[in-house]
Amino acid sequence: MNEALTIDGLTVDFGGFKAVDGFTTVVQKGELRVILGPNGAGKTTLMDLVSGKTASTQGSVHLFGENITNRPEHIIARHGIGRKFQIPSVFRDLTVRQNLEVAASGEPGVFRNLRLHMVAEDRARVEDVIAMTRLEPVLDTVAGELSHGQMQWLELGMLITQQAKVILLDEPTAGMTHAETFRTAEIINEMKGSHTILVVEHDMAFVRKIAERITVMQMGKLLAEGPMEKIETDPKVREAYLGS
């Protein structure tokens, strides 16, 4: 099964206004897909529909062939959709390492006996994520004291250690410095191939650094889809989004 996320004719009707309107796309396993589009295009609503925060009125979402359409949000999370919001949800009083161990053990809140819950495979995953997110220097720092960027990387790392099958990232570089944005691109590039990621992002310089395949939305619909070079030169996209 190479189709990780299959979105078919997805629609939500908010009292006559369709914020997402017959949207269809397929994200392959290991793919990094960027969703672009002007403000109000329906990108966040699309993420809400996929993650179960909002119920759709038509269409379907399948995760590795399993129908997850309109299942409750916590059930969808359990199926393996991991969503990272702009405001991170980490345990602020735990250290970076403890946060990663909580995520790896799959028992948030049971942190005292954490190591007892972790099998060798979990430990290996935590070490891999530490290397990937460059969090080594702050492993013993409590999460509440991290910089904005480190906090974002920790949350991303927690989704990986939780073994999310598809990771949804909503503007991962919002509020980041130039250096933090650069590092985030490096981390995401390292995740390519081994993780399936759907990113909503506005920062075009960042998108150019990470993008493989891009989906452009406009008024809830799919406007264009393809590699960056094709999207950037597409007259429809230039008119709708790039403003020229």
Binding site for ligand ADP (CB under 6 A): 14, 17, 19, 37, 39-45
Contact between 171 and 152 under an 8 Å Cβ cutoff? The reply is no
Choose between 14 and 230: whose C-beta lies nearer to ligand ADP: 14
Shortest CB 44 distance to ligand ADP, Å: 3
- CA–CA distance, 43 with 80 (Å, rounded to integer): 20
- On the CB side of 244, how many CA atoms lie within 13 Å of its CA? 3
40 vs 108, beta carbon nearer ligand ADP: 40
As measured in angstroms, the least distance from the Cβ of 150 to ligand ADP is 26
3-state secondary structure of 92: coil
Angle at 181 between CA 92 and CA 206, to 5 degrees: 135
DSSP 109-149: T--TTHHHH--HHHHHHHHHHHHHHT-GGGTTSBGGGS-HH
Cβ 215 to ligand ADP shortest distance, Å: 12
CA max distance for the chain = 58
Which CB, 41 or 223, lies closer to ligand ADP?
41
Closer CB to ligand ADP, 42 or 80, in the complex: 42
Q: Least Å distance between CB 54 and ligand ADP?
A: 7
CB of 19 to ligand ADP, least distance (A): 3
Q: Give the strands of the sheet with 32-36, arranged side by side.
A: 81-84, 166-170, 196-200, 32-36, 213-218, 221-227
Q: Nearer Cβ to ligand ADP, position 38 or 226? A: 38
Joined tokens for residue 12: 């939500």
Q: What's the closest the beta carbon of residue 41 comes to ligand ADP, in angstroms?
A: 4
Nearer to ligand ADP among residue 14 and residue 78 (C-beta): 14
216, 240 Cβ separation under 8 angstroms: yes
